[in-house]
């Protein structure tokens, strides 16, 4: 596995790969790998000639007071895991090389970014879109692989790539979960044992929504109230950021569960902000 820190060297290498006819797949990450990341890398291994992984904790998507400084990091461990997953190239750029001191260009998809996570983190998607667009320009991949746990992020990036005519296919892959259903996340490391046990109910609550819909309740407002009450009872150390019922690709609110509705949840559990989602069938 080759490891690059230089933006120009990484870009030159990826350009040579593309010009030589290699099908490349990029997995953008912020590191501290878990099985969710590794599943994306293994999919890329099975569906591309060359697997590229970027590891960059992007300061542009953190606001003051968030967890940029304490975000979990372990580069040596991540390198070993990436190598075991069959990664060909690991890219670990320096912040100053990605954002020069006079950096003043930003990419935004406001129509899809102002709801859900964008309400409590209005800075977030501008930072995500900017760094992902830059990574696409550096890596020049044919495919880019994202986990569906971050559903809104996947939708926003898909729209960005379409609107900017970027020559990359955005691939979404299913959320990988712990045995008790908790979506794997690097921020799970923040949880105490008790918080970790409670956090498993985030996904269990989403499963309850499908049960309630199967039993005939289709009003989103009533389902939302039932879900919020479930969380109050089963995640007492948690604080709900949002619970929304939206169109999966437009991210607009839906009053009824008619066909497919994305139920998206964000909760603060201890010092961790956790997100999850599920497509509920009508």
Res 282: pLDDT? 86
**Euclidean distance between CA atoms 183 and 276, whole angstroms:** 7
Q: Kindly state whether residue 247 falls inside one of the protein's structural domains.
A: yes
Based on the fold, state whether residues 246 and 153 are members of the same structural domain: no
Based on the fold, state whether residues 68 and 153 are members of the same structural domain: yes
Catalytic residues: 37
pLDDT (tens digit per residue) in 181-194: 999 999 999 999 99
Based on the fold, state whether residues 100 and 236 are members of the same structural domain: no
Dihedral (CA of 77, 79, 83, 87) sign: positive
Q: Kindly state whether residue 80 falls inside one of the protein's structural domains.
A: yes
How many other C-beta atoms can be found within 10 angstroms of the C-beta atom of residue 126?
A: 18
CA-nearest of 248, 89, 231 to 158 is 248
Q: How many domains does the chain have?
A: 2
DSSP letters along 160-218, please?
HHHHTT-S-EEEEEPPPB-TTSPBP-GGGGG--HHHHHHHHHHHHHHHHHHHHHHTT--
Res 268: pLDDT? 98
Q: Which domain holds residue 144?
A: 2-173
> Which residues does the chain have with pLDDT short of 70?
none
48 sits in which H/E element? none
Q: Indicate which CATH number applies to the domain containing 151.
A: 3.40.50.620
* Rounded-to-10 torsion of CA 55, 15, 39, 150: 60
Based on the fold, state whether residues 166 and 133 are members of the same structural domain: yes
Based on the fold, state whether residues 24 and 124 are members of the same structural domain: yes
Q: Which stretches of 94-168 are assigned E, i.e. beta strand?
A: 143-147
Based on the fold, state whether residues 39 and 90 are members of the same structural domain: yes
Based on the fold, state whether residues 9 and 139 are members of the same structural domain: yes
Count of H-run helices and E-run strands, the chain: 10, 9
Based on the fold, state whether residues 32 and 57 are members of the same structural domain: yes
């Amino acid at each position: 596995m080759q490891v690059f820190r230089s933006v120009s060297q990484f870009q030159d290498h990826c350009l040579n790969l593309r010009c030589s006819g290699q099908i490349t797949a990029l997995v953008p990450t912020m590191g501290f790998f878990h099985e969710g990341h590794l599943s994306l890398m293994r999919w890329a291994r099975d569906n591309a000639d060359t697997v590229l992984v970027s590891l960059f904790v992007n300061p542009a998507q953190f606001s003051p007071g968030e967890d940029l400084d304490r975000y979990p990091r372990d580069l040596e461990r991540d390198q070993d895991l990436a190598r075991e997953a069959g990664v060909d190239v690991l890219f670990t750029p320096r912040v100053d090389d990605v954002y020069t001191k006079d950096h003043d260009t930003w990419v935004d998809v406001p129509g899809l970014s102002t709801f859900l996570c964008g309400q409590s983190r209005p800075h977030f998607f501008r930072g995500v879109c900017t760094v992902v667009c830059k990574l696409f320009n550096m890596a020049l991949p044919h495919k880019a692989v994202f986990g569906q746990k971050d559903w809104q992020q996947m939708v926003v990036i898909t729209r960005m790539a379409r609107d900017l005519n970027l020559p990359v296919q955005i691939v979404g892959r299913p959320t990988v979960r712990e045995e008790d259903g908790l979506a794997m996340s690097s921020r799970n490391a923040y949880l105490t044992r008790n918080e970790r046990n409670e956090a498993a109910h985030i996904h269990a609550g989403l499963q309850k929504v499908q049960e309630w819909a199967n039993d005939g309740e289709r009003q989103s407002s009533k389902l939302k109230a039932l879900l919020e009450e479930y969380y109050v009872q089963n995640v007492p150390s948690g604080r709900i950021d949002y619970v929304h019922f939206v169109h999966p690709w437009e991210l607009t609110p839906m009053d009824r569960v008619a066909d497919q509705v994305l139920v998206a949840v964000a909760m603060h559990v201890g010092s961790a902000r956790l997100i999850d989602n599920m497509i509920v069938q009508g």
